[in-house]
Amino acid sequence: MILKRRKLYNKKTGSKDHPWNEGYRMLRCSWCMKKIKDDRECFGLSVKFVDGVDFKEAEGTITSVFLLSRNTSVPMIVVAEDSEAKNQGQDGIFVLCSDKCGLKMKKTINDELNLFKPDVEIVNLKWHV
């Protein structure tokens, strides 16, 4: 899967002068919260939302999702309606720094049946700038 980095829109100022647009922007691992630099390999855990869960207002952005089983919020990419990921049936992607974090997150997500459908998939992400 290829994710494209886009400039973020700063809602407060109405411009694209968002701090993440300066230089390179780092993502955080959804499990351990370590920063993932552009030149590092990263993984994605793709998820499908259960019926009734609606993240429409967050499409195409990174949002926080509260995981009851971990008692914490973690970052998740909500895929845009017109994206390749959505065409492949994905609703959200958790970015992860390693297979180890991926396996832990996969187990946790399979326990969060109030938000996500079971049997999530870990994929290697490649960035396209």
**pLDDT value for 120:** 67
Beta bridge partners of 77: 62, 93
H or E segment and range at residue 99: helix 99-111
**Tens of each residue's pLDDT in the chain, 129 residues:** 434 444 444 455 555 544 444 444 568 999 999 998 877 888 989 998 888 888 888 888 888 889 988 999 999 999 998 888 888 888 999 999 998 999 999 999 888 877 787 666 676 665 544
Cα–Cα dist 11/8, whole Å: 9
In 10-98, alpha helices (H): 84-87
Q: Which positions ≥6 away from 1 have C-beta within 8 Å? A: 44, 46, 84, 85, 88, 123, 124, 125, 126
- List Cβ neighbours of 54 (8 Å cut-off, separation of 6 or more): none
Say what the pLDDT of residue 14 is: 52
pLDDT at 42: 86
CA angle 22, 26, 31 (to 5 degrees): 160
d(CA 49, CA 115) in angstroms, rounded, equals 6
* pLDDT given at position 31: 95
Burial class from Cβ neighbours inside 10 Å (0-12, 13-18, 19+) for residue 39 reads exposed
- Report the pLDDT value the prediction gives residue 125, as an integer from 0 to 100: 65
